[in-house]
Amino acid sequence: MSVNKIIKRVTTTAIKEMKARGEKISMLTGYDYTMARALDEGGVDVILVGDSAANVVAGYETTLPITLDNMIYHAASVSRGTQRALVLADLPFGTYQGSTERAYDAAVRMMKEANVHAIKLEGGVEIIANIKQIIHAGIPVCGHLGLTPQSINQFGTFAVRAKEEAEAAKLKQDALALQEAGCFAIVLEKIPAALAKEVSESLQIPTIGIGAGSHCDGQVLVVNDMLGLTKDFKPKFLRQYLNLFEDISKATAQYVADVKSADYPNANEQY
Ligand code: KIV
């Protein structure tokens, strides 16, 4: 007799409850169906369809070139691969910083066409009206502060943000504004651990850190980095669990050798 296991989906409410009871939240990025299935089976709470797809999937230097259509394609693929994880998708650069109507339309397209559960936007008070409009439509929004890669041309560097008092004060103000606007969580990227601790303790909604220390309510990593697929990228905050780039290169070399030597396919590997 087969017993069908009922898998309960992680919701934005469940994410907020995790903070309330002191349970850390796990998030990884994902960009395709097959990886999403593996991450979901591994029990990750949230799969972020990050615009880092521009870097690790498409090979661009920054996240700026990726389009809404590209992001919807990745997000829909991830959605089809998950049963349990909450699927959160980035809106790409240029789709939500302008008019409120355009931001709203982009968010609605992402929800309708990719079947995700929430969206993430980079920025604070400057985009708060657009965030409120999206939330009013019933779309859960996750904020993103600190190193916001869509602003790399303003920053000029991927170095740690908010080390100076003025930028730290602005970040704290932005975090409160995002909470008041109704965001369900905030990603804090590459800021001092002490600042992330202060922000996390001051908010009711969870913070998810990347390079922001151990006091955040959860952690996120780019899956390609964490699996060792991204060659020669080892920032201090990264814990690399596998070395897949090397494993794949080795497996490829073995396959090539097997084909060249006519070892593959053998008698059991043909019809
Ligand atoms: O796009 C992305 O992968 C992200 C994470 C770095 C948080 O926004």
Measuring from atom 2 of ligand 1, which residue has the nearest CA? 50
Is the pLDDT at 6 greater than 90? The verdict is no
Provide Rg for the chain, Cα atoms: 20
Angstrom distance (rounded) from CA 235 to CA 219: 15
Cα of 29 to ligand 1 centre, how many Å?
A: 7
Active-site residue, 41 included = no
Atom of ligand 1 minimally distant from the CA of 27: 7
Cα of 166 to ligand 1 centre, how many Å?
A: 24
**Ligand 1 lined by 90 (C-beta under 6 Å):** yes
Cα of 263 to ligand 1 centre, how many Å?
A: 43
pLDDT tens digits for range 32-90: 999 999 999 999 999 999 999 999 999 999 999 999 999 999 999 999 999 999 999 99
Cα of 31 to ligand 1 centre, how many Å?
A: 11
pLDDT at position 5:
75
User: In the predicted model, what is the mean pLDDT of the chain?
Assistant: 97
Is the pLDDT at 195 greater than 70? The verdict is yes
Instruction: Read off the amino acid at residue 112.
Output: K
DSSP for residue 21 = T
**Ligand 1 lined by 225 (C-beta under 6 Å):** no
Name which of 60, 42, 41 is nearest 50 in CA terms: 60
Q: Could you write out the DSSP letters of every residue in 27-53?
A: EEE--SHHHHHHHHHTT-SEEEE-TTH
All structural domains of the chain with their residue ranges: 12-240, 244-271
For residues 128 and 135, is the Cβ–Cβ distance under 8 A? no
Measuring from atom 4 of ligand 1, which residue has the nearest CA? 50
Is the pLDDT at 2 greater than 60? The verdict is no
Give the SS3 label for residue 244.
Answer: helix
**Ligand 1 lined by 122 (C-beta under 6 Å):** no
Band (pLDDT 50/70/90 cuts) for residue 188 is very high
Is the pLDDT at 174 greater than 90? The verdict is yes
Give the dihedral sign, CA 17/78/83/41. Answer: negative
Is the pLDDT at 3 greater than 80? The verdict is no
Best residue among 87, 187, 224 to mutate for probing ligand 1's pocket (most ligand atoms within 8 Å of CB) is 187
Atom of ligand 1 minimally distant from the CA of 222: 3
pLDDT tens digits for range 205-226: 999 999 999 999 999 999 999 9
Q: 64: burial class by Cβ within 10 Å (0-12, 13-18, 19+)?
A: middle
Find residue 209's DSSP bridge partners.
188, 219
**Ligand 1 lined by 50 (C-beta under 6 Å):** yes
Angstrom distance (rounded) from CA 221 to CA 250: 25
Angstrom distance (rounded) from CA 100 to CA 105: 9
Is the pLDDT at 17 greater than 60? The verdict is yes
Q: Determine the angle formed by the axes of helices 165-181 and 128-136, rounding to 10 degrees.
A: 20
User: What are the structure tokens assigned to 232, written together?
Assistant: 């020669």
Band (pLDDT 50/70/90 cuts) for residue 122 is very high
Q: CATH class for domain 12-240?
A: alpha beta
Atom of ligand 1 minimally distant from the CA of 29: 3
Is the pLDDT at 1 greater than 70? The verdict is no
Stretch 227-242: mean pLDDT: 96
